[in-house]
Amino acid sequence: MSASSRKSETIELMGKLGVKPEALEGGDLAVYSPTNGEKIADVKKSSASEINAQIEKAHEAFKKWRTVPGPRRGELVRLLGEELRAAKDDLGRLVSLEAGKIPSEGAGEVQEMIDICDFAVGLSRQLYGLTIATERQDHRMMETWHPLGVVGVISAFNFPVAVWSWNAALALACGNAVVWKPSEKSPLTALACQAILDRALKKFGDAPEGLITTFIAERDGGEVMVDHEKVALVSATGSTRMGRQVGPRVAQRFGRTILELGGNNAGIVCPSADMDMAVRAIAFGAMGTAGQRCTTTRRLFVHESVYDDMVAQLKKAYLGVTIGDPLSSDALVGPLIDKEAGDNMEKALEAAKAVGGKVTGGERVDVNGDASYYFRPALVEMPEQTGPMLEETFAPILYVTKYSDFEDAIAMQNAVGAGLSSCIFTLNVREAETFLSAVGSDCGITNVNIGTSGAEVGGAFGGEKETGGGRESGSDAWKAYMRRATNTVNYGTALPLAQGVSFDID
Ligand code: NAD
């Protein structure tokens, strides 16, 4: 498929999704499709004053939205889910065009948006607090949860639409306004989401103007939002480097953050593992999305008794996997996002070789010429955990190291900065339960006989240590989008003080 037809497909898809062609021309931010490296749009970036005005407006909208009953707020999220169902095929394809995901992953990302909308609709009727036993006679103590304010969402290129929906669906149900800064590498899917949302807002009827909006900007525009005192919560998804900048800036003004940062996720393969299941789970976890998921499997610790068998099976998978243009083939591995990502992959492989790593795969594959960056995923046998294995390289590289002692395997799994996702393959209940216990994996996601990637919306999503500690999506992650008040009511005639303190002014 030629470059110009990619551009015309973009215009056509955007049109179907509700974005006018004018929005794709004449702007100051060039957008490229990683599928063939061609420029597909020039979109307009917002200035600092435009971003500030948008946030002020969102704050005004919040003051109205917080008084709307929760289930009515849920109705807006339900309508968004309906619009997403109707747009699933087109939006999924646009994700493939702009982020390079294979079609089933592009569609899967939109399905995740629909799922979180369903979750948040139910949640809008369940924003409950506790009633707590009080030590004082004729008193009642309880918790109430209130809307927080404007939620600023910063998202990464690799989940260009799902991360926004995780935040937006919960934030809206919880009574907040939302301002979104998508990645500068994936602004088109964001403009499409805003158009989809605008249809839901229209059907809803009386949502305050400016309640949920998007602006296109690079890092400096993100910083404007990060520093704005009317943004009560900054939910930022991206690299640990970004989190190190955003976290302290928001803390400086006592704002709140949800930080969803980098991962360096590992799996452990034990002697009793179901090898066939493990190979398939690891292949998807490590090579899927061309290694560009925060939860991608990047390290593997394999027991010495099954090491040779596992490595042989993985090598076969790595040398056989299909690499190609996600828009015109049924390949399983698409492109890296850009040249920088390709350079980082090559540098990491060189560094691994320098410390004794034996590389299978990893070579650049010519799919659509020099302007696109397709690589065969790399399997690297490492004599020990060292060098680039200790850091996240956002590319399909899987480092494999042998272990003999189970405790050592857990120690190696935990010995990196990031703490997002982890998994173990074993049929031994002691190993499985130890891995899940307090002395096991230190990650936010710990799986047994499932790979590291592919979480469902029902669970809280996020990780520890350099992954930032934030939680989004399911379980009680909604609490981060609300403020808690502890209320104590005295319905008696006396005024007993807590802890038996007396302060008698007679
Ligand atoms: P990135 O950090 O380069 O950019 C992410 C976003 O942060 C972009 O929108 C960018 O403009 C913005 N940004 C960067 N610096 C900023 C600053 N100082 N102030 C405000 N905004 C700023 O990340 P990327 O390359 O787009 O995405 C890949 C990274 O994201 C990987 O490290 C991956 O693990 C991580 N990620 C994490 C999760 C998670 O849930 N933990 C999910 C997806 C991606």
Question: How does pLDDT run across 347-404, given as a tens digit for each residue?
Answer: 999 999 999 999 999 999 999 999 999 999 999 999 999 999 999 999 999 999 999 9
Q: 3 pLDDT band (50/70/90 cuts)?
A: very low
Q: Residue 506: pLDDT above 90?
A: no
Q: Domain 265-458 is in which class?
A: alpha beta
Ligand 1 centre to CA of 453 (Å) is 18
Q: How far apart are CA 35 and CA 99, in angstroms?
A: 8
Radius of gyration of the chain (CA): 24
Quick check: pTM over 0.85?
A: yes
> What average pLDDT does this structure show over 2-6?
66
Any atom of ligand 1 within 6 Å of the Cβ of 292 = no
State the CATH architecture for 48-261+468-486: 3-Layer(aba) Sandwich (3.40)
CATH topology match: 48-261+468-486 vs 265-458: no
> What average pLDDT does this structure show over 228-249?
98
Mean pLDDT of the chain: 97
Any atom of ligand 1 within 6 Å of the Cβ of 263 = yes
Q: Which two tokens stand for residue 46?
A: 């917002």
Hey, is 214 helix, strand or coil? Answer: strand
Any atom of ligand 1 within 6 Å of the Cβ of 467 = yes
The full set of domain ranges for the chain reads: 48-261+468-486, 265-458
Q: 1 pLDDT band (50/70/90 cuts)?
A: very low
Q: How confident is the model over 107-147, as pLDDT tens digits?
A: 999 999 999 999 999 999 999 999 999 999 999 999 999 99
Any atom of ligand 1 within 6 Å of the Cβ of 238 = yes
Q: How far apart are CA 37 and CA 52, in angstroms?
A: 33
Any atom of ligand 1 within 6 Å of the Cβ of 245 = yes
Ligand 1 pocket test: which of 29, 164, 165, 237 has the largest number of ligand atoms within 8 Å of its C-beta?
Answer: 237
Ligand 1 centre to CA of 413 (Å) is 24
Spell out the SS3 assignment of 393-433. CCCCEEEEEEECCHHHHHHHHHCCCEECEEEEECCCHHHHH
Q: How confident is the model over 180-195, as pLDDT tens digits?
A: 999 999 999 999 999 9
Q: How far apart are CA 489 and CA 441, in angstroms?
A: 43
Ligand 1 centre to CA of 242 (Å) is 6
Catalytic residues: 260
Contact 422, 77 (CB under 8 A): no
Any atom of ligand 1 within 6 Å of the Cβ of 237 = yes
Which residues are within 8 A (CB) of 384 and not within 5 positions of it... i.e. 6 or more apart?
Answer: 401
If you take atom 23 of ligand 1, which residue's CA is the nearest one? 238
